[in-house]
Structure 1
């Protein structure tokens, strides 16, 4: 008999296609595999493309940075793994032309450069780096020195010919190297310039690019050998502006893929549940003919397995075809063509199709073995294995959750969403059914169809619990993916408000401060000057700090260099106090406000006493407050702020930042002519580069959002189609008893309108909870209420359900009613 099971399963597979339950199941699974394959391929390409594009900020995929020349062993290791490398030396230096001088950030490079991104010059150059004896300079250097293309500038003892204006370049370095105007010089000109001598404050970088897996191997092998003066930089972990945006953007792409999988799983779950219920009479027939329960279970698993194979092949090919067509739109998204997807992304859709069909199909398949043969005689005979069924469903859902976590590189998002799904599915299904029943009682005596409505709601109460629970989850997931993108885009846009500064002014001496204040005030330039002094953290609670820290804390960058310190009477308006209290204006105590990350990384707490070495003089203070600092604000920001009583007697310089519109940039030159010893840093190029990159990230997330919403709309339509099919028998009975076709259609639309209103309202509540968890633990963005969702989603869901039901609900003729009733015995 066992050898006949596959043959019977193949025959039954085609016979089952006559049933609406099987057609809905096949359609839902095929769409799930197709769309999952499509999104997994596109998401993988988008993620790789965004990583490559954003790597242009670093000029490479990975950077080893050091304050000393980098050991050749680092390069040897990278080349041994097949990675591409190049070296960069960057340092501040004065360059001149005649009597004019300007502080620049000289970047000494050699071919190939850069490894990611591109250098843009005017006029365009045919070579990747300046030829020996030449230089490329940014606009600020050229204007300040009064140069023209072809003129000579002094770079130490070397005279270099200016051959191009530097319009854009990646790999801008760290600290004020990022902000000073850049000068690109060939490696061969460094020695004869003699600008880099012992004690020079130079930054040495090894730029590395290549395959992601090889980069991970390189990083893993390099980390244990890093010296104190060396550091590995990556875009996500080490760039305060782009790092959070990129991490959030990639989390959103993965969240969208996960949402699509969960939407598909919910639809398949509902279709399989209905399919299993509809198969009970057929199963009873097989059992009455002598088929054993075990053989019956194998028969259904064979059917599911054959169907899963066909769906995996067809859906996988369709998904790949759609991904190929999407190239037409995606080709204009990033400057370079998107990289090819990894081969594993082509298998995700088919593999998950198998997992979803077989794991979710296990409970209804096992239930068939316990169907009583009396089902043939009494169609209302019910299965008494409800508790066992719930246990099977729980096991299946746990296994499916494990599969989703295995396939998606977003375990935090998956875990949070799956927990929310479990809670929402159980709670909101029951709650929706109770609310629907209450609304039905309220409308029973107020509408002409009220009594029929209350009968419908009572008859469908079990399916309402399941269908409403699934619909709430569908709407909740769509809301989460919609609102999450809006929150992310707002956060990205907030990083570059209209008034964000584009100039830094540093090295303002105490005697120059009144004149600079007056110059800025006369021209209505809104800014504030901050005093600044440099100091090294040396003590914690009156004892050397290093012996008190663990190995990981000793690697913190705040211990490796002098910190910029300041003192203030009032807290900066762009900083937020999150712990403790700011000092009183008349306080004479030495108090400190510290940045949150520094506090956490060094394991400090309120009440700790920190000691600094400021030019050989000790100064200390007690931590009385902790600040949240937005480094991407481009305002003067500090890890440590002292109360005025502690530092105001120390000599220091002043720093500020301000915004100048394009038409007012001539005022920058006026400032330098009046105060030639000041250093003015133009960061417009960096701002434009970052703003353009974030715009591409927002466009990418919009594409993923559109495809996810389309997936959700299709699956909602399939779910409603299945629900309408369930009601055909009742509609046929009502019309046979004298009800008009228009009345039965109005009854269906009224039920679906109420269902949409209730599901939409519950989905908003569930979405707010899920969004709060996502924003707090995954996307790391501020929490906020979304009141527009409360007003729009219930109404939109109600209208959408009515519209879809109107399109899908074909009127039944009386002959069709007789046929339906006859087929159901």
Structure 2
């Protein structure tokens, strides 16, 4: 009977099935792609850093670190890197780039992608340079042209397209130039005060080497000596966390697509069942029971739900194949799409369960149909059971909560998301009820026939007003949520581009050079928008205990990085957009009396085990500066702004050795290039 009736209503049932297919396609494609991304990051974790593990330091390693390196069997390769202006001799233009001097053999996993391909080996043999491909395009460089780095001039051996662990986005922020390691000294740029990074690459003799055990064994000791250990497994975990917002946003897209599909299911089945009430009454006249008529349509819904789930799953598996083409520039690994069995199982289970759950409320209407409705549509059957209705609604929202918990991976986020849905649903239902009652009781009789007829139809028996308002309203709510979330994520990762936002940055400007920079900008009719002073310092003592004493005390609850890190602090009288005070009181100006009040970031306060009022003494170029913690700030380190762990008030560090970061705004790229 279900088959016979379904053949006569194929169009309406296919509309119902389309809602399922769209939702399940989104869920399966995004879930499967996310699983593939995680799998590829894990499998290609060694190529993310080009080795099994790395020891890095901001200064030449001391004897103790060298002993550790020797105990590990020696390095497979080394690298020295720093930021420097690179001069393109043909055009006379220059650009700030990351200069990397690498030894033979790097990378030990993965490969350098260059144009031409053989340039990856040729530049090391003949003393050339690989220049970022985008920079070569911007500055019209060709193979054979020359660049000058410090004291040496090198031929361009080729274009550097990608390096293990890099991405097109990273290259945009910090374009790279690779040169042979032995040429680094000849640049003359490694001097006292230069910011140089030293990296030592290792290849494990045993592929099954326990990287976590190695971290536990060496990390603390290396931290104490100003070095750091990075393993491919730790890099994989860190990268997974960095892509967390991206995958969570994709999950939200899938979740909302599914909910929109569920709304389509409920509304289409509601309309379908209203049209079938007369058929149900006829069946009951012929002797069919309430359960039999209910099961007839339940079989139809279940069959179409299963078929829609299968089609949606297949479509999702096909759709995910196009994701790497769209996101290739932003992915850190070469994507190899794999079949994700959990995503397939989730798609089939969700499609079937959601289609049945969201169809149950409309289907319950068949139980209230009486045979008399075959002749008289207004005939009333038994009252609907509120308990069953509440139970079905509870099951629907429980299913939504469980699915949101799986997608969002946080029970609190899932709870508030479902709570928001309940509030939106209730508010829309209330608006629809008031609207219909208002038309019934307060509609002006003086309106024209067309107006009265059209508006009265909204409150006629079996009207779809409530269904349409709920479907459109909840759908708009979900899509708006998606757009607001997208805007918030983009705001965290992009620089403000208002008319007052700077677009040119001058780094490492000495105080005596600032007047010349100001004059140069004034000649170009530009003004300095931000003047950010930066003072270098180290922690001398925390709460009266010296840094050396804390390093030697295994029970000291102070992070080694706090004791060994060379902090770059600033001073100003106000907060910036990426930070807010969560404890204490912000002090922007020091009156000269008492100990200097400072503001520290949450990570500093936590790792240094300090709270409001605690004392921290800094070593500022040999001068000890006692301070007290006046406030703790929450800092959004993901914002593209200059953020600081330690901020001083004004009237303290003005006479300390410092350098400046200046910003301005140019009209276009030509003006920016002219200034540079």
Q: Aligned partners of 1:419 and 1:493: how far apart in 2? A: 31
Counterpart secondary structure, 2:469? helix
Contact 2:503–2:663 (Cα < 8 Å) also in 1: yes
Distance 1:114 1:267, change over 3 A: farther
Q: Aligned partners of 2:428 and 2:202: how far apart in 1? A: 53
| Partner of residue 262, structure 1 | 259
Deviation at 1:14, TM superposition (A): 2.8
| Partner of residue 417, structure 1 | 417
| Partner of residue 393, structure 1 | 392
Distance 1:293 1:414, change over 3 A: same
Distance 1:576 1:636, change over 3 A: closer
> 1:254-276 deviations in whole A, cap 9, x for unaligned?
22211110011122123344555
Give the one of 571, 579, 589 matched to 2:574.
Answer: 571
> 1:181-214 deviations in whole A, cap 9, x for unaligned?
85524468899999999x9964326699xxxxx9
| Partner of residue 456, structure 1 | 457
Distance 1:342 1:373, change over 3 A: same
> 1:691-712 deviations in whole A, cap 9, x for unaligned?
xxxxxxxxxxxxxxxxxxxxxx
Deviation at 1:295, TM superposition (A): 6.7
| Partner of residue 14, structure 1 | 4
2:398 is the alignment partner of 1:408? no
| Partner of residue 654, structure 1 | 659
| Partner of residue 609, structure 1 | 615
Give the one of 76, 80, 87 matched to 1:90.
Answer: 80
> 1:110-154 deviations in whole A, cap 9, x for unaligned?
546497796556x7754367324524165999xxxxx99588999
> 1:268-287 deviations in whole A, cap 9, x for unaligned?
12334455566667667777
| Partner of residue 478, structure 1 | 479
Contact 1:565–1:639 (Cα < 8 Å) also in 2: yes
Contact 1:45–1:338 (Cα < 8 Å) also in 2: no
| Partner of residue 204, structure 1 | 199
Contact 2:20–2:308 (Cα < 8 Å) also in 1: no
Distance 1:515 1:269, change over 3 A: closer
* Matching of residues 222-237 of structure 1 within 5 Å: 227-228=219-220, 229-231=228-230
Q: Aligned partners of 2:647 and 2:519: how far apart in 1? A: 26
Give the one of 586, 591, 594 matched to 2:597.
Answer: 591
Distance 1:668 1:312, change over 3 A: closer
| Partner of residue 28, structure 1 | 16
Cα RMSD after superposing both structures: 5.8
Q: Aligned partners of 1:613 and 1:451: how far apart in 2? A: 83
Deviation at 1:302, TM superposition (A): 4.1
Q: Aligned partners of 1:410 and 1:62: how far apart in 2? A: 31
Distance 1:515 1:398, change over 3 A: closer
Distance 1:428 1:601, change over 3 A: farther
Contact 1:609–1:621 (Cα < 8 Å) also in 2: yes
Contact 1:444–1:454 (Cα < 8 Å) also in 2: no
Distance 1:375 1:553, change over 3 A: farther
> 1:546-567 deviations in whole A, cap 9, x for unaligned?
69x9999855854541211233
Q: Aligned partners of 2:311 and 2:599: how far apart in 1? A: 62
| Partner of residue 249, structure 2 | 252
Deviation at 1:108, TM superposition (A): 1.5
Deviation at 1:470, TM superposition (A): 2.9
* Matching of residues 521-670 of structure 1 within 5 Å: 526-527=527-528, 529-543=531-545, 554=558, 557-568=561-572, 570-571=573-574, 578=581, 580-584=585-589, 586-589=591-594, 590-599=596-605, 604-615=610-621, 617-626=623-632, 637-648=643-654, 650=656, 652-658=657-663, 662-663=669-670
Contact 1:297–1:366 (Cα < 8 Å) also in 2: yes
| Partner of residue 225, structure 2 | none
> 1:211-251 deviations in whole A, cap 9, x for unaligned?
xxx99x98877765561333566599579xxx87x554443
Give the one of 49, 56, 62 matched to 1:67.
Answer: 56
Distance 1:195 1:305, change over 3 A: same
Contact 2:97–2:176 (Cα < 8 Å) also in 1: no
2:163 is the alignment partner of 1:131? no
Counterpart secondary structure, 2:124? coil
Give the one of 93, 100, 103 matched to 1:106.
Answer: 100
Counterpart secondary structure, 1:447? coil
| Partner of residue 360, structure 1 | 358
Deviation at 1:355, TM superposition (A): 1.5
Contact 2:612–2:629 (Cα < 8 Å) also in 1: yes
Distance 1:278 1:617, change over 3 A: same
| Partner of residue 37, structure 1 | 25
* Matching of residues 302-313 of structure 1 within 5 Å: 302-313=299-310
Q: Aligned partners of 2:557 and 2:475: how far apart in 1? A: 45
Q: Aligned partners of 1:594 and 1:264: how far apart in 2? A: 48
Contact 2:535–2:568 (Cα < 8 Å) also in 1: yes
Deviation at 1:456, TM superposition (A): 3.2
Contact 1:90–1:204 (Cα < 8 Å) also in 2: yes
TM-score (norm: length of structure 1): 0.58
Distance 1:298 1:247, change over 3 A: same
Deviation at 1:351, TM superposition (A): 3.1
> 1:667-688 deviations in whole A, cap 9, x for unaligned?
777xxxxxxxxxxxxxxxxxxx
Counterpart secondary structure, 1:227? helix
Structure with bigger helix share is 1
> 1:301-355 deviations in whole A, cap 9, x for unaligned?
544433333333344445556x38x94x984664699643543445544432211
Q: Aligned partners of 1:95 and 1:487: how far apart in 2? A: 34
Counterpart secondary structure, 2:630? strand
TM-score (norm: length of structure 2): 0.69
Contact 2:6–2:300 (Cα < 8 Å) also in 1: no
Distance 1:179 1:591, change over 3 A: farther
Q: Aligned partners of 2:86 and 2:453: how far apart in 1? A: 91
Distance 1:421 1:162, change over 3 A: same
Counterpart secondary structure, 2:624? strand
| Partner of residue 90, structure 2 | none
Distance 1:566 1:356, change over 3 A: closer
Contact 2:101–2:183 (Cα < 8 Å) also in 1: no
2:370 is the alignment partner of 1:381? no
Distance 1:452 1:129, change over 3 A: same
> 1:447-506 deviations in whole A, cap 9, x for unaligned?
223554564344348853344223310222233334544555566553567854554432
Q: How many correspondences in the alignment? A: 615
Contact 1:304–1:357 (Cα < 8 Å) also in 2: yes
Counterpart secondary structure, 1:27? helix
Deviation at 1:419, TM superposition (A): 2.1
| Partner of residue 61, structure 2 | none
Q: Which runs of 5+ in 2 are unaligned?
A: 58-64, 88-95, 137-141, 221-227
Distance 1:111 1:443, change over 3 A: farther
Q: Aligned partners of 1:36 and 1:552: how far apart in 2? A: 53
Deviation at 1:620, TM superposition (A): 2.3
Q: Aligned partners of 2:640 and 2:471: how far apart in 1? A: 46
Counterpart secondary structure, 2:383? coil
Counterpart secondary structure, 1:624? strand
Q: Aligned partners of 2:405 and 2:70: how far apart in 1? A: 37
